[in-house]
Structure 1
Amino acid sequence: MDVIVGIDVSKDRLDGHVLPAGESFFVGNDHGGIDALIVRLSQMKADVVALEATGGYEMLAAAALSSAGFAVVVVNPAQVRSYANALGRRAKTDPIDAAVIAAFVGATRPQIRPLRDEESQAFSAIVSRRRQIVQMITAEENRARMAQTKETHKSIRRLLAALRRELESLDDDLDGRIRTSPLWRVRAALLTSVPGVGPTTARTLMAEMPELGTLDRRQIASLAGLAPFTRQSGKWRGKSFIGGGRGKVRAVLFMAALVAARHNPVLKAFRDRLVQAGKPKIVAIVATMRKLLTILNAIIRDSKPWKSA
């Protein structure tokens, strides 16, 4: 029987639970604690180590365990909580959560994907910082429209100038990293060969979806949160929804789909057919996002650039 270790992550501590032994333990969420964790897991010959995603606190442990050769999976906390509710486990403490995580992995057997290496994680961090800068620029531009005094306008202009310089610096950094990485250069060229996909979309997909090209179309759509699901009970049939997945990926795909629906002949025809068939425009755009992602997945998988015919 596989040895499965569930780990509940907090800022300062890692609580673990081992199945089938039922053993519980904890270590510090720092280099010393993780070194001790690696020794413990090596002694028990752990087959799978599962950590709950907690806004980045899990990344040090996940990266260290992965580089130590363990099969690591980072699980969705909402799914784990739903699983706990289904089991009737209402109590919530760190040791209990660790036990639930281990049981969840044992029951669902989620696919274990390779974690991003250090360079890819740095790339992702820059993309996230760029997004924050863009949001700050938008906020200051909104304030400029509401400002009523010259002094306020001057302050906003100075800050906007600094933010735009920082944005340009981050873009240069991203471009430099792409130029120095043969793999990223090839991937960037493949992705941007599709009309509607610009550098920002390509960078975000490379940073936030390293699985692109390794999964089938249903799996990649589910990973991005673009796989529709329907609510139904008995004879009642609800509407289909999308949700979950990677919000950053969906955000850039939404903008790319809007552009592609105008300038990409294949996706424009696809979107127009849906609208002509009576589908609401937002539904047509979501379907276009899903089709665009499927195309990009196939392009990376086959290493062949876009062809309209």
Structure 2
Amino acid sequence: MPGRAGWQVEKMKIDRYGIALACEGMGDCLYAIPVIRKLHAATRSTRVYDIFTKQPDLFQSCPYVDRVYPFADGPLIQDYYRNNKLIQLFDLKKFEHWAMDTTDFISLPTGMGQLSFREKQLEYFPTEPDAAETFDVVLNTSRTWPSRSWPIEHWQRLADELAARGLSVAVVGKDVSSSSDALRKQSLPLQGCRNLVNALSLDQTYYTIAKCRLFVSNQNGLSVLAGATDVEMIVLDMSIEWSKRAMYRQENPLHKFELVKGDCQIYCCSSDVCPEPSHKGQFKCVPGYDRVRGAVFRKLGLPG
């Protein structure tokens, strides 16, 4: 038997575990952070965590993990499998992702159950100092599937109306190719606005969103990033039920938040063709211009 000193060493032993975060999208990875935070809090005296992720930049300064690896580092992941010390997050074989609250979808397979509203608070950990400019309104014109994209002519019209009232407007976003979706995701610049598309790091995008009066976006990764700030925001909710992607800032999914939706409740997620025959090919989940304009003007306190 070990002596008392040896017993103390055994008691203090720290095991290294791996986290395999299989999702590709930035928003889903951000939703995983509260789950990892709870894992870390529950086991900090006995474990440290390495993470394998397709979004390693999100975790470089995350205090809940020790080392960050690209998800493609397969041999390292296999080492954890052999030692039975790998925690798999975002397992599409367990539940239907589109039909559940994203944080619960990630946390339930870990055995921790559902997280409370307080535990679901999003976080982001920038590494760069704040060098962002301040704007009245920041827009993200992200274009993906037809069922999750607002027409560019609507974005331009909205920007024109805001600029005509003397407000400064910037457009943020990044063009990316998604291998899992086989989709080119684009954020288009707008005339008369400060074009910051593909011009900012993620940290500076975060700061730019955090400092504006109002952020307006489709339901996407940048809207989730905005949930890690305290900014006033409007999200154009289209083909995914908003409660499944809720952001519990101040333990409240509607804190400084307004959702604007069209007139369809099917929630087809990411369709290229509208599945409802009576719509005759039109995605009625996409809100009309006047509905979005009204929400934006109310948030900014502008006369209609």
- Name which structure has the greater RCO, CA cutoff 8 Å, separation 6+: 2
Bigger share in strand: 2
Q: Larger C-alpha radius of gyration, 1 or 2?
A: 1
TM-score normalized by the length of structure 2:
0.23
Bigger share in helix: 1
